[in-house]
Amino acid sequence: MCFSAGASFGASAIILGLGVVSIRKVVKPAQFLFASIPFIFGIQQISEGFLWLSFAHQQFASMKESMNYAFQFFAQVLWPLWLPLSVMLIEPAGTNKNILKIFVGIGAAVSIWLGYSVFWGGVEASIEGQHIAYVRQVPDIFTPFTGLLYLIVTVAPSFFSSVKRMWLLGTTVFISYIITAIFYSGNVISVWCFFASLISIAVLLVMLELRKKSSFILNTSQ
């Protein structure tokens, strides 16, 4: 997805479609944040698609900075908070929900720090081979620690959820991250989005399970 403008836009169309289907499966308002994950991934892909165009075509050059920071917002700032929060909101009251609240707190701290680091220090985007490389103008001295916390808050919450199939989300995110870290170590932020479609499918499967469970409860109560 993240290897060219055409690939990004093509992928965004598919992911947005998955997002629409996922959102239509919402039964309770608390499920909306989780169901909208694919849709947001699609918007994120659109921003990087326009960033590709800003490098390749002069008429799009003026969009480079705005699309760069739009992508940074989604990739660096939004997900560390959105993912654990969306999982926590659909979790029934109990011990697991309290644990998930801790992940939400950590995710919020990661989002605030990365937001400060990105938008205050600045990020330079450039083409490297078939990928876009993002380099912070002010190096983050806590990069290894921040990266670990980012991984924890985007993966671990799924395994503390009592929702059936939720583990698929955490597993998909983790495998996606590991593969990109090994084979595309210098472009993790960008190439990781290559797996957005698989992550979106995992979200949709969870939503289908929630919808099925809701229908079952409704039918048995009648």
Q: Would residue 158 be called left, alpha or beta, if left means φ above 0 and alpha means ψ between -120 and 50 degrees?
A: alpha
Extended strands (E) in 13-151: 123-128, 131-136
Each domain of the chain, given as residue ranges in start order, spans 5-221
The pTM for the full model equals 0.87
Residue whose pair of structure tokens reads 């060219």 in the numeric block: 4
Q: Tokens 């990087």 sit at which residue? A: 48
- The whole-angstrom separation of Cα 175 and Cα 192 is 10
How much is the pLDDT for 218? 44
Report how far residue 144's alpha carbon sits from residue 193's, in angstroms, rounded to the nearest whole number. Answer: 20
The mean pLDDT value for 26-36 works out to 96
pLDDT in tens, 120-137: 888 888 777 667 778 776
- Rounded to a whole number of angstroms, the distance between the first and last alpha carbons of the chain is 46
Kindly report, residue by residue over 136-187, the tens digit of the pLDDT: 766 665 567 888 999 999 999 999 999 989 999 999 999 888 887 776 655 5
